[in-house]
Chain A
Amino acid sequence: MSMTAIVRTDDSKPLLGFWIYIMTDCVLFASLFATYAVLYQNTNGGPDGYQLFNLKSVLAETLVLLTSSFTCGLAMLAAHRGDRRQTILWFVITFLLGVTFLTLEATEFRHFVQMGDSWRRSGFLSAFFTLVGTHGLHITVGLSWMLIMLFEVIHKGLGRITIRRLTMLSMFWHFLDIIWIFIFTIVYLRGAIAP
C-alpha cells in the first residue's frame, strides 16, 4: 500500500521544477537579446546584417527546427500511448532534423568566419555570435540528451521515470524553438530590412 502511495505521487512537481528552469533560461536569452539590440548598429566599418544574412538559408533553418518541434510532440503522444516503436521513430526524426539545423548554422558561422567576419570584427558580430551561438549550444545539449534518451527507451522501455524525462526533454526542445522565433525575427528578418 505504501508502494502505491509512492507511485501515486504524480510528476507535476519535477515538471514544475523543470518549467522554472526553462523560465530562468528565458531570462538568460533576454539579456543576450538586450545586448544584441544595444550593439547591432555598432558595425565598426564592417558588414551589417543586411549585407551578411542569407534569408533563404535562414528560412530553411527555421522550418527545419519548427518541424522538429512538431515531430517531438508526435513522439510524446506515442510515448504516452506506450508505443515504443513510434516513440523511437519520431525521436530519431526529431534528432536528424536537429542535426540538420545545427549543420546549417555551423555552415553559416564558418562562412562568416572565413570571410573575416568573426566575433572579433565588431560589436554587432560579437553580440550576434553570442546570442545565436548560445542557442546553438542549447541545441547541441538537447541533441546529446535526446541520444541518451533514445538509448534509455530502447533498453528500458517506457516506464514512468523515462516518460517523465522524455516530457522534460520535449519541453526543452519546444522552448528552443520558441527562442528561435525571436532570433529569426529580431536578428535575421530585422537585419534583412533595407536600412
Chain B
Amino acid sequence: MSEHRRAIVGHHDSSTRGTLASYVTGYIFSIYLTITAWLLVRNHLLQKTPLLILIILLALAQFMVQIFFFLHLGRERKPRWRLIVFFGMVAIVLILVIGSLWIMTTLRYRMTIPQMENYMNQQQGL
C-alpha cells in the first residue's frame, strides 16, 4: 500500500515546483537588484525624480524575478488559474493605489487654504 501510494505521489503535478537553478538564479538577481538600488540612493547618484523612477523600476524588476523564480508563476499547466487570479490582483491593486492617490491629491488641490480663500474672495457677494 505504502509503496503504491508513494509511486503515485511521485508523479503528481510538478509544474509549479522550483529547481535548484531557479532558486539560485532568483537569489543572485534579487541580491544584485537590492544592492544596486541601495547604492544608488546612498550615494545619491541621480537627481531626485529620475532616482525615484529608477528605484521603483528596480523594485518592479525584483518583483518579477521573485514571482517567476521563487513562486514559479507562469510555469503551471493550462488552464493557468494562478496567472488569471494574479492579473485580477494586479488590476485591483492598480485601481486602489492610483485611485487613492488621484482622489487625495486632487482633494488637497481643492481643499488647501489659499484656494479656498481665493474662492471666497471671488464670491464676495455671498
Contacts and interface: CB of A to CB of B under 8 A. Distances in A.
Nearest to B35: A59
Contacts of A12: 13, 16, 76
Contacts of B42: 55, 192
B17 A80 contact: yes
B96 A182 contact: no
Dominant SS at the A interface? Answer: helix
B112 to A, nearest CB: 13
A156 B27 CA distance: 31
Give the bracket for the number of chain A residues in contact with chain B.
Answer: 35 or more
A38 interface: yes
A93 to B, nearest CB: 14
B67 A178 contact: yes
Dominant SS at the B interface? Answer: helix
B8 A7 contact: yes
Contacts of B116: none
Contact of A181 (B35, B62, B82): B62
A83 interface: no
B89 A27 contact: yes
A62 interface: yes
Contacts, number: 133
B17 to A, nearest CB: 6
A23 interface: yes
Give the bracket for the number of chain B residues in contact with chain A.
Answer: 35 or more
Interface stretch (A29-37, A103-111, A126-134, A137-145): A29-37
A148 interface: no
Nearest to A27: B92
Contact of B66 (A37, A177, A185): A177
Contacts of A190: 52, 55
A193 B92 contact: no
Contacts of A26: 89, 93
Interface of A: 3-4, 7-8, 10-12, 15-16, 19-20, 23-24, 26-27, 30-31, 33-35, 37-38, 55, 59, 62-63, 66-67, 69-70, 73-74, 76-77, 80, 160, 171, 174-175, 177-178, 181-182, 184-186, 189-190, 192-194
6 contacts: A12-B76, A59-B38, A80-B17, A177-B70, A184-B37, A192-B41
Interface of B: 1, 4-5, 8-9, 12-14, 16-20, 23, 26-27, 30-31, 34-35, 37-38, 41-42, 44, 48, 51-52, 55-56, 58-59, 62-63, 66-67, 70-71, 76, 81-82, 85-86, 88-89, 92-93, 96-97, 100-101, 104
Given A77-B19, A184-B34, A189-B38, 18 more contacts: A19-B81, A19-B85, A30-B97, A37-B101, A38-B104, A55-B38, A62-B38, A67-B27, A73-B26, A73-B27, A74-B20, A80-B17, A181-B34, A181-B66, A185-B55, A185-B58, A185-B59, A186-B56
